Amino acid sequence: MRFRITCLVLAVLFAFPSMGFVCATRVEKMEADIEALQIQFNDVQKRLNNDQTQLTSMILRADKKLEELSGTQDKSAESVAQQNVQLALELEQERAELASMRGRLEVQQKTIESLQESLQSVMGSISSTGGGNAVILPSDQAGLEAYIIQKRTAGDKAALKTAIAEYVSRYPDDAKLESYLAEYVGILYADKQYGEVITSSTMYLQKFPNGAKKADVIYHMGMAGMETGNCQLATISFKELKKLDANRAKDALDLAQTKCK
């Protein structure tokens, strides 16, 4: 009996240390696992922080680019607005110049009517030539045209001027009137009849605003204006001429600036 008790006591004594050893081993393993998980967690947290830092940096760069783009758009809009304002000012200046020219044309309308009356009264069909002999102009249109060609070829400026004046008076709506009227302006300018140059030029521009001889007529009108001291008419005419003949307009404007000081 004593032997059995002794064996039981010994068995219990040996059993408890073994259980303590097993428990200690498991705790150490759990602590190692926790430490490993903590290391992994710290690593993930570190990468997350780096990603957040990069994301924040990218957002800031994007905001900066958007701000720069917005500034560029504002500058572009401002530049376009300034260009529009400048264009509006230039157009307004052109309108003012055209209005001024129209005003002068309206004022000179009565002078045109006076010229037409004068042309109609050029001795009916009779004119004096350089030799002082009375010449009867042809009464028909074809004959008058032949007479104009003849006097132009002969260089008889006085007879040519009278014949063209008669043609303008007789046939104000004829297709050939444009070329004859432009030629008449040139003859008047050569004779230094500047007042009639302005009147006849105005008549031409009213009848033929897109005429083939428009540049020559505007030039003579501007020069006649300058010769009569009408610097405004000269300047407006030469600026209009610039659209048709820039080189001639430049020389004329330079001359006008010299004479109209």
Q: Is the entire prediction scored with pTM above 0.75?
A: no
C-alpha dihedral sign at 124, 125, 131, 133: negative
What's the confidence (pLDDT) of residue 106?
Answer: 66
Tell me the per-residue pLDDT of 234-243, one tens digit each, with 9 for 90 and over. 889 999 999 9
Q: What is the DSSP letter of 139?
A: S
What's the confidence (pLDDT) of residue 35?
Answer: 73
User: pLDDT tier at 148 (50, 70, 90 boundaries)?
Assistant: very high
Give the rounded percent of residues in the chain with a pLDDT score beyond 70: 65
What's the confidence (pLDDT) of residue 10?
Answer: 46
What's the confidence (pLDDT) of residue 134?
Answer: 55
Average pLDDT over every residue of 223-251? 90
To the nearest whole number, what is the mean pLDDT of the chain? Answer: 76
CB neighbour burial string for 70-94, b if at least 16 within 10 angstroms, e if fewer = eeeeeeeeeeeeeeeeeeeeeeeee
Query: Does residue 130 surpass a pLDDT of 60?
Result: no
How far apart (Å, rounded) are the C-alpha atoms in residues 143 and 193? 28
What is the number of other CB atoms lying within 10 angstroms of the CB of residue 105? Answer: 14
Q: Which helix (H) or strand (E) holds 131?
A: none
Helices 157-170 and 141-154 cross at an angle (nearest 10°) of 160
Homologous superfamily assigned to 110-259: Tetratricopeptide repeat domain (1.25.40.10)
Classified as helix, coil or strand, 243 is coil
Tell me the per-residue pLDDT of 35-83, one tens digit each, with 9 for 90 and over. 776 677 666 667 766 667 777 777 777 777 777 777 777 666 677 767 7
Please enumerate in sequence order all residues whose Cβ is within 8 A of that of 199, keeping only pairs 6 or more positions apart, or say none.
108, 111, 112, 114, 115
Residue 99 CB-half CA count within 13 A = 6
Tokens in use for 101?
């020219």
Tokens in use for 73?
């758009």
User: pLDDT tier at 223 (50, 70, 90 boundaries)?
Assistant: very high
Average pLDDT over every residue of 107-126? 52
Q: Highest-confidence range of 25-34, 98-107, 114-123, 245-254, by mean pLDDT?
A: 245-254
